[in-house]
Structure 1
Amino acid sequence: MPDVVQQRMGVPVLVCDPAGPPVATERDALDLISAAFLGAEVVAVPASRLGDDFFSLGTRFAGEIMQKFVNYRLRLAVVGDISRHLAASAALRALVHESNRAEHVWFVPDLDALDARLAGAQPHR
């Protein structure tokens, strides 16, 4: 399935294909942001498309990507099992915890969990 904008809980979400290209550079993230400008407010990226560099906070890649989405006023949802990465990094666990308390970047296990978050989220402006 290609990346596609879907209405999820009344919110337009760019749901990215798990088999799509990896998000390995800032340019890759900007490509997703560009695709989202076709009407999405949230970009749901499968965790499988994010390399180890994203989850290794010392690389600063996650921070750079997350900041790009915030700058463009888009929400980012990392969708999938990241337990392996969480087990290896207390800093990542803290980042995920704090991100999930806010409205801009969420880490969720699946699209159903994203729907639940969207149902309870305030409108994004």
Structure 2
Amino acid sequence: MPDLIEERSGVPVLVCDPAGPPVATAEQALDLIGAAFAGAEVVAVPADRLDPGFFSLGTRFAGEIMQKFVNYRLRLVIVGDITAHLAASSALRALVAESNRSDHVWFVPDLAALDARLSART
């Protein structure tokens, strides 16, 4: 399945294909932002598509990517099981907890959890 814009809980979401290309650079994140400009408000990226450096906060890759989405006024949602990454980093646990309290970047275990979060907002 290619990356597709779907309406989920009344919100247009670019749902990224789990088998799609990895997001390992800022330019690749900008490609997703560009694809979202076809009408999406939210970009749902499978956690497995993100370079492992995203979850190692010392690389600053996560902050760079998250800031790009904020700058373009798009919500970024990381979808998938990141338990192993969370177990390895208290800083990442804090970032995820803080992000999930905001409205810009969310970490959810699956698309059903994304639908529930979107439904709660409307």
Say whether the fold is shared (TM-score over 0.5). yes
Could you list the per-position Cα deviations for residues 4-57 of structure 1 after superposition, in whole angstroms to 9, with x for gaps in the alignment? 000000000000000000000000000000000000000000000012100000
The letter of the residue matching 2:29 is: A
Q: How does 1:97-116 map to 2 (within 5 A)?
A: 97-116=97-116
Structure 2 residue runs without a partner (length 5+): none
Counterpart CA distance in 1 for 2:5 and 2:113 is 18
The letter of the residue matching 2:20 is: G
Partner of 1:16: 16
Partner of 2:58: 58
2:29 equivalent to 1:29: yes
Fraction of identical pairs, as percent: 78
Structure 1 runs of 4+ aligned residues shifted over 6 Å read none
Q: Give the TM-score, by structure 1 length.
A: 0.97
Counterpart CA distance in 2 for 1:121 and 1:26 is 29
Could you list the per-position Cα deviations for residues 57-109 of structure 1 after superposition, in whole angstroms to 9, with x for gaps in the alignment? 00000000000000000000000000000000000000000000000000000
Query: CA-atom RMSD, angstroms?
Result: 0.6
Q: Give the TM-score, by structure 2 length.
A: 0.99
Q: In the comparison of the two structures, how many residue pairs are matched?
A: 122
Q: What is the SS of the residue equivalent to 1:86?
A: helix
Counterpart CA distance in 2 for 1:93 and 1:58 is 14
